[in-house]
Amino acid sequence: MELADSTLHPPPDPTVEAFERDALVFLPNVARYARLLTRDSADADDLTQETFLRAYEAWASFRPGSDCRKWLFTICRNLYLRNRQRSQRFVAVDDADGELKATRQMYFHAREQGCKDLFDRIDLGPALQKGLDSLLPEYREVVVLIDIEDCSYAAAAEALNVPIGTVRSRLFRARRLLQQCLMEYAEDLGFLRPTEAQPSQGGARQ
């Protein structure tokens, strides 16, 4: 999508200044994405720099007016996967409907205990950070793209080069796992009584 068709679109201005104006403007987005992928600030800075250098190398092929931010996310992710040699890693088969059911059970659990306003009532920041750390990158990245970068499911699918159904099921699973972390944290603090058995496999580091 982003590649230039030289017969229809003139190539972008090749100067560093133009690249700075049109691509480097997304540095905060890419840097945050890289940090959430790597969970290490030095690795993230290296990955971010590599992303922009790689994008600049291919800048003549970029079609002006197309979604540069999405293109940068794609480059960043591909470099990350290559660096970590994770492209063939196993990812649990997802079941979006099952995830929704599990999420609904957690809501019922909170409601039964009069905690419908749980998320507004206590500071869940520490638990959420811990939950994010525990997610596999494949799950964390959909949360970042959709919940933080406000991508549509289709845009995230394109950036990640996976079917939209995969984005959907990974997102639902990631949210279920994060919500489970928050509920457990609330239980530890005594805001909720412990649940009986809750699903916990798949998508989280054990």
Partner 1 sequence: MTTNLDTLMPCHEVVALLWEYLDGELDDAMRARIREHLDHCHHCTDHFTFEGAFLRTVTRVIDEPCETGALRQRILTALREEGHERTRK
Q: Which is nearer to partner 1, 16 or 189 (CB)?
A: 16
Give the footprint of partner 1 on residues 24-63 (CB under 8 A).
Answer: 24, 27-28, 31-32, 35-36, 45, 48-49, 52-53, 56-57
Please tell me whether residue 125 binds partner 1 under the rule CB under 8 A. yes
Read off the tokens for 9: 């679109």
Please tell me whether residue 120 binds partner 1 under the rule CB under 8 A. yes
Minimum distance from residue 88 beta carbon to partner 1 (Å): 28
What are the CB-based long-range contacts (under 8 Å, 24+) for 35-39? Answer: 36/132, 36/140, 36/141, 36/144, 37/76, 37/77, 37/80, 37/137, 37/140, 37/141, 37/144, 38/80, 39/133
Give the footprint of partner 1 on residues 79-108 (CB under 8 A).
Answer: 97, 100, 103-104, 107
Note whether 182 and 132 are within 8 A (CB).
Answer: no
Give the footprint of partner 1 on residues 171-190 (CB under 8 A).
Answer: 171-172, 175, 178-179, 182
Read off the tokens for 192: 């909720």
Read off the tokens for 187: 């239980």
Minimum distance from residue 90 beta carbon to partner 1 (Å): 25
Q: Which is nearer to partner 1, 77 or 175 (CB)?
A: 175
SS3 label, residue 135: strand
Q: Which is nearer to partner 1, 40 or 147 (CB)?
A: 147
Distance (Å) of CA 107 to CA 25, 117, 131, 139, 194: 40, 10, 18, 21, 13
Element (H, E) at 155: helix 153-160
SS3 label, residue 109: helix
Residues that bind partner 1 (CB under 8 A): 15-16, 19-20, 24, 27-28, 31-32, 35-36, 45, 48-49, 52-53, 56-57, 97, 100, 103-104, 107, 110-111, 116-120, 124-125, 128-129, 132, 143-144, 146-148, 152-153, 168, 171-172, 175, 178-179, 182
